[in-house]
Structures are given as structure tokens and as C-alpha cells.
């Protein structure tokens, strides 16, 4: 509401009339804003709920951080280089057309460098092999590559490529890319019990329609296989004992308008829910939760589980039966400083945590598992009735303006903004405008002639089934203010809220009824000098 009033005030001051040859005065009385503010847009979006008793309650749910398979299992780009020759004891071996240049299939075992990961099996969401093969022989060659541990739809990866003829000085080169998307990979090696190892089988045959060529000691067939952009959707093995430490921030920029005063909140609860959809145990700690308000004042959440380690059980089940484990860290007014934490009206909340995967070592026998839908999440859930007490809670906002006028055409010489409200919220508000010059020095202060009355000072309305208070507030622009209006570069809006009990005269916690609203009708009432 304060922002709308200010924008209207600025826009109205810029109203002018057409050029005239004589000077005369006009009075302007025009409606500008007809709007209604409510909490209805916050309902059912994990923020505001309506209770059975007809009042609102806060039910805030947010995901603070989330890990998936890419955060737990990461495979770096790897280049595997292989060379093949005819050995030190043979030279100029004749290679007949169609015969095997390598004298049979060459089987090798390759290891992926995965730090502390010990993987037995993975399924690839995406990834490629950049393959480069150099042929120094004077005949075309057919390169047969099989990766028996790589399978998709039950079939192993097996490709055959034709490599052009070349020479020692200028080998024939093949460049190609193998798409690994959707492949399952066995990483148990030749023995079937290893980790991070896969098998390759390579055979190279001479062109059956080509000439017989000599395979000398200087002829070296080179194969470079670059595994790149590997993204894993499933993994099994031992995921290592690793520590994840981080801070995450929640910004509530709307609260940057806080200036002074107090807010009194009812008993509330704040819970951090840890959901583990990965089949690996973990231990964590919530190190700190701190909020800082618009004035730079910070409050740390204390008590409860803060600073104490907690365990996270592995998920249970498998592909179609995966069941996450849950752990909850709850902070209430009985075990923590949660009320004073929220009453600081922090616009920035910072959560610092650490999480240790497999802190007890390989207790699963290399049966840690992570699935495509596996997630390790930490969620925030805050709940409280919307019974809020406000004691001179002042919100402030600042707007840049340009109020230059042309005295040779038209200008405003006096006037007012007239604000009519129907308020169903149990809070009153006093609104003040402060006009600043280019150096941010206050020039004038414009007080409202009255306050916006709280609903408890009004009367019951059968149509809306709640109390509604009607108010009229005027902001008078005196001749003195109008005379210096061109000096104004910024306008600061101060709105001071209270939750006064009409019976006691004290500010108390007030429940907000469902469908509460604030109806705003704003109009101008100006006197302008016009020249034609």
C-alpha cells in the first residue's frame, strides 16, 4: 500500500495542462487507484493455509539444498592411449590381405581414476568416447573394437571402423565419436572382483582387397580414446568417506523495508527434515543458522539440535521399491531461541552445515547404491498460527523521483492525496512521507491527517463475515512544499503498524481471519495554475 501511495503522489504532481496565453486556476479531483490487497495469492503455495476455525496460519515449506547422483558420483574426463607394434624381435612381417595385423585379438584392462570411489557398476545417462586411430601401413585397415563390459539393451558395445592407408611419416587417421548414452558398464575388470576397471578387445585386419604389406618395427598403430562428459544415472560400489560442507542462503528481500519497532510472534516450530534417497549412511551437523535484518542486526538460532551431530540412515529397497530414510531436527519455543530468531525480521538467512558420507567406512560390502531418482534433501518447514503482535513496527522504502515543472506552462500550486481504505486486517497503520533532496537531506515531512484503522475498531460485515474498519487519510501538500517541489529527488515512505486491543489499549497478538483484505481507493485533489 505504501508503495502505491507514493507512486500515485509522484504521478499526480506531474499532471500539467496545455499552453495558454492567460493564467487561470483549475481544481483536479480524479480517482487514481482502486485496488484490494489480500493474502489469498499465498494460499496453497506452501506458505499460507486456512484453518478449520477460519483463521490463517503460516505453513512455510522450502527445500534448502538437494544432492543427486551427479553430486555423489562424478567421473572426470579421461584419455586412454594404446599403441600396437610387432614387438622387438620381429621386423618386416608380411601382412596378407584380410589377415589380422595384431596377430589376434588384443584384450586389455583399463582403470578409471576415481579418487576414493570404488565402483562396481554404473549406468550412463550420457557421455562420449572421442576416438582417434592412426594407421601407418600402406593398406586400409578395419579396426574392430569391443567393450564387453559396456552393454545397452543386452548387447555389448562392438564397432568396426575403416581406417585409410598411410605411412610412418603420414599415417592414415580416423576420427569418430561413440555415444555412450544409456550404456550399463561393468567395472569389475578381468577378475570380476576389481573396482573402477573395464575391459577392451581390439582386432585390426588388413583390407581383404588390398596389397600385402610389411609390418616393420617403425610401424606403430596408435589408439586414443577420450572419455568425455560422462554423466552417471546409477552407480553401485563404495562411494568413499567424503565430507560435504557448505552454506546456503535464503533471501527475503521484502523484509528490507524494516526500520524499527517490534513484532511479537506466537509459539512456533521450525524443522529441518533430512530425506535420504541414497543407499549410503551419513552423519551431519547443523553448524549455524543466522539471520540479518535490514538494519544489519543479526540473530543466531540456538538450542535444539544446533551444533550436535546426527545420523542419517541409508535408503532401503531398489529401483521400483526405493524408500528414503527420514530424520528431523525440530526447533520450538521450548527447546530453542526460535521466537527471537524470527522476531528479528531477518531478510537474509544463512544455514551452514556439513555432511559426511560413509563416516564409518565400507560397511555395505561395496553395495552403496544411488538411483536416477535418488535425492538427499534438506527441507525447511516452519509452522505457526498467524497471531501477530506489532508494536510500532516501522517499515521504510525509498523511491527516486523527478518532479521538475515548467512554470511557463502548467504547475501544481497546492493539493492533497485522499486515501480511503476498508481494512479487515487487525493492524492499524500511520503513514508519513519524507521528501529528500539530491544529497539525501530531508526537505519536508508530510504526515497523514489520520491513521488507517485496524479492523477491530470497525464493525462486523455480514457479507465478508469479519470486522471491517473504514478510514480516510489526507496528505496535504502546502504552498511551501509545492514551492520547493523541484528540489525533491527521493521520497521515503514510513508506515508504522500496531496491533492494538481496543479493550486494553495494549498491542497484543492478533489472529488474521481468512480472506482478510485491505481495500484501497486513492484520489487526487489538486489546484493547478495553467497557461495557454
Structure confidence at residue 433 (pLDDT): 80
Is 519 or 459 the better-scoring residue by pLDDT? Answer: 459
CB atoms within 10 A of CB 246: 10
Beta carbons within 8 Å of 101's beta carbon, 6+ residues apart: 84, 95, 137, 141, 204, 205, 206, 215, 221
The answer to whether residue 256 scores a pLDDT higher than 80 is no
- In eight-state DSSP terms, residue 336 is B
List beta partners, residue 420.
472, 521
The answer to whether residue 65 scores a pLDDT higher than 60 is yes
Structure confidence at residue 222 (pLDDT): 93
Structure confidence at residue 490 (pLDDT): 82
Helix (H, G, I), strand (E, B) or coil at 1: coil
Q: How confident is the model at residue 255 (pLDDT cuts 50, 70, 90)?
A: low
Q: Can you say how many angstroms the Cα of residue 15 is from the centroid of all Cα atoms in its chain?
A: 43
The answer to whether residue 16 scores a pLDDT higher than 90 is no
Q: Give which of 305, 303, 300, 298 is closest to 378, Cα–Cα.
A: 305
Structure confidence at residue 520 (pLDDT): 73
Helices (runs of H) and strands (runs of E) counted in the chain: 4, 33
Percentage of the chain beyond pLDDT 70 is 79
Is 109 or 446 the better-scoring residue by pLDDT? Answer: 109
Structure confidence at residue 5 (pLDDT): 38
Structure confidence at residue 19 (pLDDT): 39
Burial 231-242 (b: 16+ CB within 10 A, else e): ebbbbbbbbbee
Q: What is the mean pLDDT of the chain?
A: 81
The answer to whether residue 532 scores a pLDDT higher than 60 is no
The answer to whether residue 531 scores a pLDDT higher than 60 is no
Structure confidence at residue 31 (pLDDT): 58
The answer to whether residue 193 scores a pLDDT higher than 50 is yes
Interval 68-85: pLDDT, tens:
888 889 899 999 998 888
Q: Give which of 233, 238, 302 is closest to 270, Cα–Cα.
A: 302
C-alpha cell at 210: 588390398
What is the pTM for the complete model shown? 0.68
Q: Out of 6-20, 271-285, 320-334, 490-504, pick the least confident.
A: 6-20
Mean pLDDT of 114-140: 94
Q: How confident is the model at residue 167 (pLDDT cuts 50, 70, 90)?
A: very high
Q: How confident is the model at residue 9 (pLDDT cuts 50, 70, 90)?
A: very low
Is 293 or 280 the better-scoring residue by pLDDT? Answer: 280
Q: Out of 9-23, 196-210, 423-437, pick the least confident.
A: 9-23
User: What stretches of 112-171 adopt beta strand conformation (E)?
Assistant: 118-135, 141-152, 155-163
Q: How confident is the model at residue 17 (pLDDT cuts 50, 70, 90)?
A: very low
Cα separations in angstroms, 430 against 295, 382, 390, 513: 21, 30, 13, 22
Residue spans of the domains in the chain: they are 2-55+390-531, 74-238, 242-385
Domain 74-238 has CATH 2.60.120: yes
The residue assigned the cell 547443523 is 286
Structure confidence at residue 14 (pLDDT): 31
Q: Give which of 114, 122, 139, 135 is closest to 180, Cα–Cα.
A: 122
Write the burial class of residue 72 (CB in 10 Å: 0-12 exposed, 13-18 middle, 19+ buried).
Answer: buried
Structure confidence at residue 265 (pLDDT): 61
Q: How confident is the model at residue 519 (pLDDT cuts 50, 70, 90)?
A: confident
Mean pLDDT of 254-275: 67
**Do 471 and 421 contact (CB within 8 A), yes or no?**
yes
Q: Out of 190-199, 239-248, 399-408, 508-517, pick the least confident.
A: 399-408
The answer to whether residue 287 scores a pLDDT higher than 90 is yes
Helix (H, G, I), strand (E, B) or coil at 445: strand
Q: How confident is the model at residue 258 (pLDDT cuts 50, 70, 90)?
A: very low
Interval 411-469: pLDDT, tens:
667 777 787 888 888 888 888 888 888 898 999 888 889 988 888 888 888 887 888 98
Helix (H, G, I), strand (E, B) or coil at 487: helix
Is 25 or 293 the better-scoring residue by pLDDT? Answer: 293
Burial 292-331 (b: 16+ CB within 10 A, else e): ebbeeeebebbebbbeeebebebbeeeeeebebbebebeb
Q: Out of 220-224, 370-374, 522-526, pick the least confident.
A: 522-526
Q: Give which of 518, 427, 424 is closest to 466, Cα–Cα.
A: 424
Percentage of the chain beyond pLDDT 90 is 38
Amino acid at each position: 500500500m505504501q508503495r502505491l501511495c507514493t507512486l500515485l503522489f509522484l504521478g499526480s504532481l506531474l499532471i500539467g495542462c496545455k499552453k495558454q496565453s492567460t493564467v487561470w486556476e483549475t481544481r483536479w479531483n480524479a480517482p487514481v487507484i482502486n485496488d484490494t490487497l489480500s493474502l489469498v495469492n499465498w494460499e496453497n503455495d506452501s506458505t499460507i493455509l486456512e484453518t478449520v476455525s477460519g483463521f490463517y496460519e503460516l505453513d512455510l515449506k522450502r527445500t534448502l539444498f538437494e544432492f543427486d547422483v551427479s553430486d555423489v558420483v562424478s567421473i572426470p574426463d579421461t584419455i586412454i592411449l594404446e599403441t600396437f607394434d610387432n614387438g622387438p624381435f620381429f621386423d618386416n612381417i608380411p601382412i596378407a590381405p584380410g589377415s589380422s595385423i595384431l596377430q589376434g585379438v588384443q584384450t586389455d584392462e583399463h582403470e578409471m581414476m576415481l579418487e576414493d570411489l570404488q565402483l562396481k557398476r554404473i549406468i550412463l545417462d550420457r557421455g562420449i568416447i572421442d576416438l582417434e586411430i592412426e594407421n601407418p601401413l600402406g593398406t586400409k585397415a578395419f579396426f574392430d573394437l569391443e567393450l564387453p563390459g559396456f552393454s545397452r539393451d543386452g548387447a555389448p558395445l562392438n564397432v568396426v571402423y575403416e581406417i585409410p592407408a598411410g605411412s610412418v611419416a603420414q599415417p592414415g587417421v580416423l576420427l569418430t565419436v561413440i555415444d555412450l548414452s544409456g550404456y550399463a558398464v561393468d567395472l569389475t575388470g578381468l577378475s570380476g572382483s576389481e573396482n573402477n576397471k573395464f575391459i577392451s578387445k581390439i582386432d585390426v585386419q588388413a583390407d581383404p582387397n588390398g596389397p600385402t604389406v610389411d609390418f616393420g618395427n617403425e610401424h606403430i598403430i596408435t589408439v586414443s580414446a577420450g572419455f568425455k562428459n560422462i554423466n552417471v544415472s546409477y552407480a553401485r560400489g563404495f562411494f568413499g568417506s567424503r565430507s560435504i560442507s557448505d552454506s546456503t542462503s535464503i533471501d527475503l528481500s521484502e523484509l528490507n523495508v524494516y526500520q524499527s519497532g517490534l513484532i511479537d510472534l506466537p509459539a512456533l516450530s521450525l524443522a529441518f527434515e533430512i530425506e535420504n534417497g541414497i543407499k549410503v549412511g551419513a552423519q551431519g551437523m547443523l553448524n549455524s543458522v543466522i539471520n540479518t535484518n535490514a538494519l544489519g542486526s543479526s540473530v543466531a538460532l540456538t538450542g535444539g539440535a544446533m551444533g550436535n551431530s546426527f545420523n542419517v540412515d541409508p535408503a532401503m529397497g531398489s529401483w521400483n521399491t526405493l524408500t528414503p530414510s527420514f530424520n528431523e531436527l525440530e526447533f520450538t519455543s521450548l527447546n530453542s531461541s526460535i521466537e527471537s530468531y524470527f522476531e528479528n525480521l531477518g531478510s537474509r538467512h544463512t544455514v551452514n552445515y556439513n555432511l559426511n558420507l560413509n563416516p564409518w567406512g565400507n560397511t555395505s560390502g561395496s553395495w552403496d547404491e544411488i538411483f536416477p531418482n535418488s535425492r538427499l534433501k534438506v527441507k525447511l518447514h516452519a509452522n505457526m498460527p498467524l497471531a501477530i503482535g506489532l508494536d510500532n513496527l516501522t517499515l521504510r522504502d525509498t523511491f527516486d523521483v523527478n518532479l521538475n515543472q515548467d512554470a511557463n506552462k502548467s504547475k501544481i500550486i497546492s493539493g492533497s492525496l485522499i486515501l480511503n481504505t476498508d481494512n479487515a486486517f487487525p493492524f492499524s497503520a500511520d503513514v508519513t512521507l519524507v521528501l529528500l533532496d539530491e544529497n539525501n537531506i530531508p526537505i519536508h515531512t508530510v504526515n497523514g491527517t489520520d491513521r488507517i484503522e485496524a479492523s477491530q475498531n470497525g464493525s462486523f460485515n455480514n457479507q465478508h463475515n469479519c470486522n471491517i474498519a473504514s478510514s480516510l487519510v489526507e496528505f496535504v501538500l502546502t504552498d511551501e512544499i509545492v514551492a520547493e517541489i523541484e528540489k525533491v529527488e527521493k521520497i521515503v515512505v514510513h508506515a508504522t503498524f500496531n496491533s492494538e486491543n481496543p479493550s486494553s489499549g495494549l498491542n497484543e497478538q492478533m489472529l488474521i481471519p481468512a480472506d482478510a483484505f485491505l481495500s484501497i481507493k486513492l484520489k487526487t485533489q489538486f489546484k493547478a495554475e495553467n497557461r495557454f
